[in-house]
């Protein structure tokens, strides 16, 4: 029977030491892995690129941009949001997403201490 993963708060940027700083604990490794897993999809990488370059976009505009349905894009965006890499705001019938650059920066620094 598979072991249940611990619950991890991924809403805040990563706060652990860089991977090369020493042996990483189970919880810290899980925090990093969950964020990397959220980015390990070409559509999500494209969505993050759009959010980082435009600042904020509606789900419907993102769907048009990547050529997928609103529902599929919403699924991908919810994965990014749960990983703490994006955040959303509802305005009427539309949901607008924006990247959380501080979370991406923290992830970068965990993987490479020289990253700015």
pLDDT per position as a tens digit, 87-114: 999 999 999 999 998 888 888 888 877 7
For 47, phi and psi rounded to 5 degrees? Answer: -65, -45
DSSP 22: S
End-to-end, the C-alpha distance of the chain in Å comes to 42
Q: How confident is the model at residue 59 (pLDDT cuts 50, 70, 90)?
A: very high
* Multiple choice CATH, 19-111, 1.10.10.10, 3.40.50.300, 3.30.365.10, 3.10.20.600: 1.10.10.10
Cβ partners under 8 Å of residue 112, min gap 6: 18
Q: How confident is the model at residue 63 (pLDDT cuts 50, 70, 90)?
A: very high
SS3 content of the chain, % helix, strand, coil (to 5): 55, 10, 35
Distances (CA, A) of 69 to 12, 13, 66, 94, 111: 29, 29, 9, 14, 33
| pTM exceeds 0.75 for this model | yes
Tokens of 82: 């749960």
Length of the chain as a residue count: 116
**Residue pair 83/10 in contact by the 8 Å Cβ criterion:** yes
């Amino acid at each position: 029977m598979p072991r249940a993963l611990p619950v991890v708060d991924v809403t805040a940027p990563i706060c652990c030491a860089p991977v090369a700083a020493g042996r990483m604990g189970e919880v810290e490794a899980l925090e990093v892995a969950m964020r990397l897993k959220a980015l390990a999809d070409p559509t999500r990488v494209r969505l993050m690129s759009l959010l980082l370059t435009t600042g904020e976009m509606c789900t419907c505009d993102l769907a048009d941009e990547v050529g997928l349905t609103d529902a599929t894009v919403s699924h991908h965006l919810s994965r990014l949001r749960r990983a703490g890499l994006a955040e959303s705001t509802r305005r009427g019938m539309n949901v607008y997403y924006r990247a959380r650059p501080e979370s991406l920066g923290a992830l970068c620094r965990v993987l490479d201490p020289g990253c700015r």
